[in-house]
Structure 1
Amino acid sequence: MAQDTPGWELFRTFLGVLQAGSLSAAARELGLTQPTAGRHVAALEKALSLTLFTRSQTGLLPTDAARALQPYAESMAATAAALQREASSQADSLERVRGAVRITASEVIGVEVLPPILARLRQQQPGLVVELVISNRLQDLLHREADIAVRMTPPHHEALIAQRLGGIELGMHAHRDYLARRGTPRTEAELLGHDLIGFDTETPFIRALARSIGAVKRDAFALRTDNDLAQLAAIRAGHGIGFCQVGLAKRHGALVRVMPKRFAFKLDTWLAMHEDLRASPRCQVTFQALAEGLRAYIEG
């Protein structure tokens, strides 16, 4: 390896080419010219004494060495983004909260629950910019993929500040028009005769809920999807009966809860951020607003 350590700009271009699959596409994404992107890749290969890409008819193919470096480059990108967010918040007077906060949440929470909370936060803090990452994959707070996370599992790492907000209640629901057509089930046997909406792939979370859903297995579902938003949309459309957060069903007056005594469980809900952000004004106000808003939602 050369003595000079490659700069972040070279790794940034390397990661862009990995993700885009070609120099031209990466250059467009990064705001570079294609020759500049090519020089960056060549300089990094020379500095590392490695071949990172091979050319093919479909573009640039990453070598095994490139794949081995990818997670480290992604970690560098996350750290660089976190540094930029922190710098933007410190560049102005500390009397005003400014800068970007990156929040991660699951699909349903991010789309259905957080928007009104974030809208109120925007009104209170117009200098604050929110970057919302909606994914059921747990973002890595330790490596600063996000600043604040809404999670349904308790964070265990000592470097994370975590607050338990309560349990979000789930139950089986259907559109009233569907129940008017098909009738309301009173027993599990009757329920199995209905059009049920549920998961396609069994996950550890689903297996943990097996005791709650009983005989309602994958084979019983008339509509199978692992996308929680698609399940919710299907319930609202009158496709059948499926699991839905009770708070969301109350907001949608046409949804009716089915067999509440038989099917009821709660999702433990947590808010977490890295302890290094404790003194960050932008993260403090965002964390507090999320905690207050989510508690209000949970409590109905």
Structure 2
Amino acid sequence: MTSNIGWELYRSFLGVLREGSLSGAARALGVTQPTVGRHVAALETALGVVLFTRSQVGLMPTEVALALQGHAEAMESTAASLERAATSQGEEGGKIRGVVRISASEVIGVEVLPPIVARLREAHPALKVELVLTNRVQDLLRREADIAVRMVRPKQEQLVARRVGQIELGFHAQKGYLTRHGTPRKLEDLAAHAVIGYDQPSAFVRNAGKALPGYGRDAFSLRTDSDLAQLALIRAGVGIGICQVGLARRDAALVRLMPRAFSMKLETWITMHEDLRNSPRCRVAFDALVAGLQAYIDPPVQGTKGKIGRARTQASE
């Protein structure tokens, strides 16, 4: 096996693995199809293995290719991290510059982070921000992201972590739905309502199930594993579902239901690799996320009226 194999060969390998064809990989990578073909052939020769076999539906990865996928993706993440670090060196008139890659869940990324990122960019216009929105925990040790917003405390010693508070979840419904179908006063009343929930179980679902006996797939009239879709269904008045109390505060049409009967809190952390602690681009982004999420979780007090927009609740507690 050849010991010195260029990254571009693995890059083309990943392209074919993801796209299923040489032509698809070429389009995704912005190179020619013959170039991708040569790279894959060269990698097979260097490794002494067969990576793909032809089929009627395209190129099928062999077991060897699938075994190599994780390692190649780790190389890809490292290469991307190296590029971000390289573009961040030097200064333009003392300005912080470069690229910072932030990972967060879909709901946090769509509903909470945009104004935080807007303020960050106003303060540091030379800084470029990449948002990775996924409910999968990005691996900071493999440099898939520079900074991550997580709903669980990281256990790896190589990570810098800052707890920003607890995001509270509760049952909510749109006023129009409650007008048409009535307001549940206790958890048992949900059986007579259209409840929005998951299709496939997850770690969150299992935790919620401990607090809500009977909260299972069969009880849901509407099922989707997309948190954004669930939130959209609640806002549209389709049924009753669980969403973040902080998001409901922003919408006068949403009503929180049975807060004393059900409240679930998610520990929220901002994390990054300790090697990035002294990176100016990562430090300002990290601090901006901490401040922005703390303000979202615990809104500042205005006058004597208490905290801004406290969640509205029905007199059904």
1:294 and 1:94 map into 2 onto residues whose CA distance is: 30
1:85 and 1:122 map into 2 onto residues whose CA distance is: 17
What amino acid maps onto 1:240 in structure 2? G
Which residue of structure 1 aligns with residue 196 of structure 2?
A: 197
Which residue of structure 2 aligns with residue 78 of structure 1?
A: 77
1:222 deviates by 1.1
Equivalent position SS for 1:54: strand
Mapped contact 1:192–1:216 kept (Cα < 8 A): no
What amino acid maps onto 2:166 in structure 1? G
Query: Aligned ranges for residues 253-272 of structure 1 at < 5 Å?
Result: 253-272=252-271
Equivalent position SS for 1:209: helix
Q: After superposition, what is the alpha-carbon deviation per residue over 1:182-225, rounded to whole angstroms, capped at 9, x for unaligned?
A: 11111223232111111222223222222322333322211111
Which residue of structure 2 aligns with residue 176 of structure 1?
A: 175
1:239 and 1:36 map into 2 onto residues whose CA distance is: 51
Q: How many residues align?
A: 299
Give the ranges of 4+ consecutive aligned residues of structure 1 lying more than 6 Å apart after TM superposition: none
Equivalent position SS for 2:221: strand
Which stretch shows the higher mean deviation, 49-58 or 223-232? 49-58
Q: After superposition, what is the alpha-carbon deviation per residue over 1:230-258, rounded to whole angstroms, capped at 9, x for unaligned?
A: 11000000011111111100111100111
Q: 1:213 to 1:76 in 2, by over 3 A?
A: same
1:72 and 1:105 map into 2 onto residues whose CA distance is: 23
Equivalent position SS for 2:67: helix
1:39 deviates by 1.2
Query: Aligned ranges for residues 1-300 of structure 1 at < 5 Å?
Result: 1-2=1-2, 4-93=3-92, 95-300=94-299
Q: What TM-score results when the alignment is normalised by the length of structure 1?
A: 0.96
2:60 and 2:215 map into 1 onto residues whose CA distance is: 45
What amino acid maps onto 2:211 in structure 1? S
What amino acid maps onto 2:251 in structure 1? H
Which stretch shows the higher mean deviation, 123-132 or 78-87? 123-132
2:295 and 2:58 map into 1 onto residues whose CA distance is: 51
Mapped contact 1:94–1:281 kept (Cα < 8 A): no
1:93 deviates by 4.5
Q: After superposition, what is the alpha-carbon deviation per residue over 1:139-183, rounded to whole angstroms, capped at 9, x for unaligned?
A: 100000111000001000000000111001111110001111111
What amino acid maps onto 1:127 in structure 2? A
Equivalent position SS for 1:9: helix
Equivalent position SS for 1:32: coil
Which stretch shows the higher mean deviation, 34-43 or 253-262? 34-43
1:277 deviates by 0.4
Q: Which runs of 5+ in 2 are unaligned?
A: 300-317
Which stretch shows the higher mean deviation, 160-169 or 93-102? 93-102
Task: Give % identity.
Answer: 62
1:265 and 1:37 map into 2 onto residues whose CA distance is: 50
Q: Which runs of 5+ in 1 are unaligned?
A: none
Equivalent position SS for 1:192: helix
2:223 and 2:8 map into 1 onto residues whose CA distance is: 44
Alignment RMSD: 1.4
What amino acid maps onto 1:5 in structure 2? N
1:281 and 1:94 map into 2 onto residues whose CA distance is: 14
What amino acid maps onto 1:137 in structure 2? R
Q: What TM-score results when the alignment is normalised by the length of structure 2?
A: 0.91
Equivalent position SS for 2:12: helix
